[in-house]
Amino acid sequence: MNTTGQRTVLVTGSTSGIGEAIAVAFARDGATVVVNGRDEERTAAAAERVHAAAGGTRPIPVAADVATAEGAQRIFAAVPDVDVLVNNTGIFEATPVFEIDDDEWRRYFEVNVLSGIRLARHYTPRMVERGWGRVIFISSESSVFIPTEMVHYGMTKTAQISVARGMAQEVAGTGVTVNTVLPGSTLTPGVRDFIADRIGPDVPFDEAERRFVAEERPTSLLGRLIRPEEVAAMVHYVGSDAASATTGAALKVDGGIAPTIIP
């Protein structure tokens, strides 16, 4: 696989979990990685962890809330151009669908979908001008296998696939690709808390993980949660020269949870 050395990679929501693992994967490949989160201290600390894990060029921490236009402008001012954009920022929470009010539907769309649209709208045309670029939306198996307890989350993940496909069509033949990656339930701090809430805080985590997968994700072919590094490996590939023929695609790294053939 060709490396991403000398390229700049922006990973939103990269202060922990999948985002941080993705940042490490690209940093190990020699890229200059922009680490992003909302809090300055957390963002700076994550950048230091990425550097400690990967070495090479020191990551650039940019604290900004990409769910807002003001936050996006802060990123554009700090990093006007990137070669690889990974739209990873996202939120999730279990809520009965008929209890989700208008404001919450809007919040989920703004954080999970509009944040990525806003960044892609700025960076993608610049990639086209240079003749190379990668735009990657981190979706979810929930996009095609809607979780009853998180319909609002599933809606946003489906929307990401549609947006990415349309953008890929718009930049066809330019050397720029746009794709979505669909992780399954992944062992991140947020998912750990989610499982503790669903299974019980006093249950040892190994047992809670087993029960959660068996009871709430029984279609998993792995029989366990995915690890952030496993998702990062797929994203790193999609963001590389080797993935030049992969565009407009929805790529599962879900351990077989979604019982569908395509995507």
* Contact present, 13 and 235 (Cβ < 8 Å): no
Catalytic residues: 153
Task: Tell me how far apart the alpha carbons of residues 38 and 66 are, in angstroms, rounded to a whole number.
Answer: 8
Please state the φ and ψ torsions of residue 55, each to the nearest 5 degrees: 70, -155
Could you tell me which residues come within 8 angstroms of residue 202 by beta carbon, excluding any fewer than 6 positions away? none
Task: Tell me how far apart the alpha carbons of residues 224 and 209 are, in angstroms, rounded to a whole number.
Answer: 7
The distance between the two most distant Cα atoms of the chain, rounded to a whole number of Å, is: 55
Q: Say which DSSP state 148 is in.
A: G
- Amino acid, single-letter form, for residue 113: V
Q: How close are the terminal C-alpha atoms of the chain, in Å?
A: 24
Task: Tell me how far apart the alpha carbons of residues 228 and 18 are, in angstroms, rounded to a whole number.
Answer: 5
Residues 207, 213, 214, CA angle at the centre, nearest 5°? 85
